[in-house]
Amino acid sequence: MRIEKASGKAIRYACLKYHYAQAVPQIRLGYSVFNESNEWCGVVLFSNGANPNLATEYDLVQGQVVELVRVALNGKQKYTSQVLGACIRELKKDAPQVKIIVSYADRNQDHIGTIYQATNWLYMDERSNERGIMLKGKLTHRRSISKKYGNSGIAWLKKHVDPNTHVVKGKPKIKYVFPMNKWERRKLNKLAKPYPKKNINFTADNKINSSDGKSKISSVN
């Protein structure tokens, strides 16, 4: 397996073709993945996170905490867990100041974070999840609305754009963290909780997307 810095073209293609969100996030570092046959498998992307206070809850400063925002792979990789481990090692070399990686498993996609559990991440908690804003009959991401109108407040949108505007809530997102050194792991171990199981809060027919392990198309986060 080979890891290299991802081009903008590779990032865009993988995000749109291999990830369920079909959107290209802002990133800090991105890696292209090639298998043992030198076939391109997709990308793994890290960002500074949408929350400017991402680092403060860990008593760190901006830049010391990054968010894993995309694992967008086409299934040609042997094991997704090996890919993620290799990309974390590259991140450690390219950004040695990073002390913690944060990522979220999306219950709206029936993900519980199997890939994170397989690679020794720590489960922290579940966070309320806003799926988007229903605007003019279409579910739209809040950031897209802010970009278009300069305001994403519900009251403002009801007054100026669509009186039927409302927030659409989704299932909670599961938060995982990966400490990049022994000190951070020791500290975060005290806050970590047992891993969530496949059927927590779900009926018996809920299934985890096969992309959390080895699959034809891997699309986590």
Token couple for 149: 């109108």
- Structural domains in the chain, sorted by start: 2-129+172-220 (3.40.630.30)
Tell me if 101 sits within 8 A of 180, measured CB to CB: yes
Residue 133 has pLDDT above 80, yes or no: yes
Residue 221 has pLDDT above 60, yes or no: no
Tell me, yes or no, if the pTM score tops 0.85. Answer: no
Give the model's pLDDT for residue 210: 33
The predicted-structure confidence for 27-75, as pLDDT tens digits, reads as follows: 999 999 999 999 999 999 999 987 778 899 999 999 999 999 999 999 9
Give the model's pLDDT for residue 43: 98
d(CA 76, CA 36): 10
